Amino acid sequence: MELASEGELYRHLKAAPNGRFDEYRSARYTYQVADALNYCHANNVIHRDLKPENILLTSDDNIKLADFGWSAHTISNKRKTMCGTLDYLPPEMVSGRPYNNSVDSWCLGVLCYEFLVGKPPFESEDSEKTYEKIKRILVSYPKYMSQGARDLISKLLRPSEARLTLREVMLHQWIRDTKKKPLRETFSTNKNH
């Protein structure tokens, strides 16, 4: 495995101001995760457990997907197993329906939201309420979130047949406009861990 000296992205998210990333950093990471997932899908792999804890950072602030424990190599692109992390589960999985690699696009929408807000959109005090919010796709956007970010997330957090593809995510206007801006947030590189 390649070295990812900065460890889990989750640690950096929790240490960021207000526990969230700015739009530049969020767009940049969302683009990189979409690109990595697109590569996986081109090789018939569905990740199925995307979350900040399963993304590692390199010393030059680039992401590496990790923890392929729930991933599936499937030529048919059809699965039925319920797996992953509760707050990231897509409605088709929660409802026990067959699904395809678009579950990773759903998870990318949840991930982008968590980057920008500091917590997943369906997080609740108990699992039944979380399941209900996921099934009904109940998402609240904070006022500080830009219209472009809302547009991207809303096009990922929708029924599977209507979700953006990963290529469409990488070409989305918010991603293209936002990831060009200079990095305002940085993290300290600790070479001793």
Catalytic residues: 49
User: How far, in Å, CA of 178 to CA of 176, rounded?
Assistant: 6
User: How far, in Å, CA of 111 to CA of 87, rounded?
Assistant: 10
Burial class (CB in 10 A: 0-12, 13-18, 19+), 115: buried
User: How far, in Å, CA of 4 to CA of 61, rounded?
Assistant: 9
Burial class (CB in 10 A: 0-12, 13-18, 19+), 132: middle
Q: How is residue 136 written in tokens? A: 């009904």
Please provide the size of the chain in residues.
193
Q: Within 13 Å and on the Cβ side, how many CA atoms surround 93?
A: 22
**φ/ψ of residue 54, rounded to 5:** -105, 20
